[in-house]
Every structure is written in structure tokens, then in C-alpha cells.
Amino acid sequence: MRRDGRRFQSELLPLIAGSPRGEVKVNDEGHIVLRAPAPGYVRHAPQLGRVLRPGELLCELEVLGTVHAILVPDNAAGSVVAENGHTKLARKPVAYGDVIAVLDPKVGASEGAGIAALGAATGTSGLVWKTPLGGRYYGRSSPASEPFVKVGDVIKLGQTVALIEVMKTFNRASYGGAGVPEEARVKRIVVKEGDDVSAGDVILELE
């Protein structure tokens, strides 16, 4: 995970509901509930639909004027399906144990699937790959690097095809999804480098 230039007082892990010893615990709906490890103000809470993996920045927690980085625990991953309810506030007040985010571990939890576990589907023009995450699209790891994929390339399950930047965090997007072929040829790259995309936008047309 890429960190931005800010310095945090410390890095903390959220509480996992019902998990006193740190093992993965899911609720009746099969979701992982991440709770505030201290009272304070949550800043930059994760957006709905964002896929989080272990070690990534979940949010920032301001406690008595000191900002702490809250990291996704090693035993938690998935797509954000619910968040702290104060959606209009830049600094969301939380008490100890309040919900920061609820993750669905069935979406994007595996390292091989990246954020694209549900990113491929058959559209009116054939097979397409869609981003399940809104943010800024990058087709290469740096301006001087080769693109992850080019028109005519054959991509395989688990292959990185893009980076999606969300709040200064770069999320690896990989080809995959239920029912998609193990290999597909890139027919067209729909978006341009640095374009802003919304969840569900078509990124690649495939064949």
C-alpha cells in the first residue's frame, strides 16, 4: 500500500466485533464489523464499495488533537458495505467500539482477485471488465512504466490490469470474477490515463 506524505502519531488496528483474540469473526450476514479502537473523530472514512485488504489505511482517527492511522487488520478484507452513519461530516465523532465500516469478505478478499472479483461481465457489446470501485484510473504503475495491459494483450485470471486511486491510496485491480473465461484478449481500453471513474464503469472491452 502507498502511504501519503503525512506523519501519524501511531498506527492502530480497529476492533473486530466478536473477536477478542483477533481471529476473523463474521456476523449473521457473513460480514466483518470493524469498530473504533478509541473515542475521537474519524476522518477520510472508506467509501461504500471500496475494497480493503490487510495493511491498507482504513481511515484516520483524531484523538485529542492527535491523528492516528487506522489500518485494516491482517485477518480482515473485503468490500465496504456499510460505514459510520455521519456521512455529511468531514470529522465523524465515534465512541469506543462504534462501527467504522462493515466489510463483505466475499468481495475482493483474495489477493489474487484484487479489487476486481466482480469486475467482469457480459455487456451488449460482448465481454467487458468493469471497475467495482470509484476513483482515478491509472493503467501503469508510474509515468515511465509500461502499461499493465495493451490492446491485443491476452490477460489471465489474477493479472493486474489497472490501479484505482481512492483518497491517495492505490488499489490494485485484477482481472477475474465468477463465470469469466480464464483468458481474454483486450479489444479496447475505454478510459484514458488519469480519468475519474465510478463503480460499474466499463474499463476494458474484451473478446
CATH 2.40.50.100 in the chain: give the residue spans. Answer: 11-104, 120-206
- pLDDT higher at 112 or 196: 196
The pLDDT value given to residue 85: 64
Predicted confidence band at 58 (pLDDT cuts at 50, 70, 90)? confident
DSSP codes of every residue in 122-141: EETTEEEEE-SS-EEEESSS
Per-residue pLDDT at 114 exceeds 50? no
Where helices occur in 52-124 by DSSP H, the ranges are none
- pLDDT higher at 199 or 47: 47
CA distance 96 to 40: 8
As assigned by CATH, the class of the 120-206 domain is mainly beta
pTM over 0.85, yes/no: no
CA distance 99 to 185: 42
Mean pLDDT of 131-147: 83
Give the three cell numbers for residue 77: 478484507
Beta bridge partners of 196: 136
Per-residue pLDDT at 152 exceeds 80? yes
Candidates 2.40.50.100, 1.10.150.120, 2.60.40.10, 3.90.930.60; CATH matching 11-104: 2.40.50.100
**Other C-beta atoms within 10 Å of 86: how many?**
14
pLDDT tens across 162-187, in order?
888 876 777 777 787 655 688 889 99
